[in-house]
Amino acid sequence: MIVLNAFFSALGQIGDPRFRGVLMRGVGLTLLLLIIACAGAIWLINIWSGSEISLPFIGAVPWLNDVLNYSGIVLVLILPIFLMVPVASAITSMFLDEVAQAVEDRYYPNLPQVSPVPIGDALWDTIIFLGVLIVANLLALIFYAMFPPFAPFIFWAMNGFLLGREYFTLAAMRRLGREGAQKLRAKHSTTIWLAGTLMAIPLSVPLLNLVIPVIGAATFTHIYHKLSDTHV
């Protein structure tokens, strides 16, 4: 009930100008990073396939260049789809403070003000979180291949755990500090994982996955306040 109430409260605030601002910045930065990633992949493929490939004991193998080129096309098509979820989620986490403040201004107006997270700290946390998401999703490909029918559930459970852990921690850190946020997260780990899974399920839907991180940031702000006594 806590999770659903928090989700619908967040959904009801989607028209807030600060939500839209975070959404536009998040989408813009996500697309920029995806373009850079695709351009980097194309550049590497061009380097590798620029000259005739030779194999030990065999010699020149001209058709390997074609394989590389066609594989590169497939890679460039798949890369944005694979990276969209972790990149969009990580980028939005960098602006979570702004979303959380918008939620608190509307629903918890009597709370004392908090100092914004320094941009350097937010950027560093975002880079670490993005790295964790990408590595985890790469490793999950093994389990997708081993258990194809369960691939969606593996995706939702894994990303739900990671997203819930990160978004709740960031929301709680604003008022409890990192150590206090970790203790509260450990106490309510099941609820937080459930909320993260609720966030992860629509992340597998194209375009919708660009909006969900903003709603998720607001949802976890509500969840934090419902699980703590700071607003009483």
The tens digit of pLDDT for each residue in 154-212 reads 989 999 999 999 999 989 988 988 889 999 999 999 999 999 998 888 887 877 878 88
* Better-scored residue on pLDDT, 196 or 62: 196
Q: What is the pLDDT of residue 84?
A: 72
Tens of pLDDT, residue by residue over 19-29, are 989 888 888 88
Distance from chain centroid for Cα 213: 7
Say whether pLDDT at 230 is over 70. Answer: no
Euclidean distance between CA atoms 75 and 73, whole angstroms: 5
DSSP characters for 48-91?
HTSS--EETTTEE-THHHHHHHHHHHHHHHHHHHHHHHHHHHHH
User: Residue ranges per domain, the chain?
Assistant: 2-16+84-227
For range 47-60, the mean pLDDT: 55
Do 198 and 161 form a contact (C-beta atoms < 8 A)? no
Confidence of residue 72 (pLDDT cuts 50, 70, 90): low
* Better-scored residue on pLDDT, 148 or 82: 148
Q: What is the pLDDT of residue 191?
A: 94
Nearest to 168 by CA among 155, 183, 156, 158: 183
Q: What is the pLDDT of residue 231?
A: 43
Say whether pLDDT at 65 is over 70. Answer: no
Tens of pLDDT, residue by residue over 99-119, are 999 999 999 988 888 877 777
Say whether pLDDT at 78 is over 70. Answer: no
Do 132 and 162 form a contact (C-beta atoms < 8 A)? yes
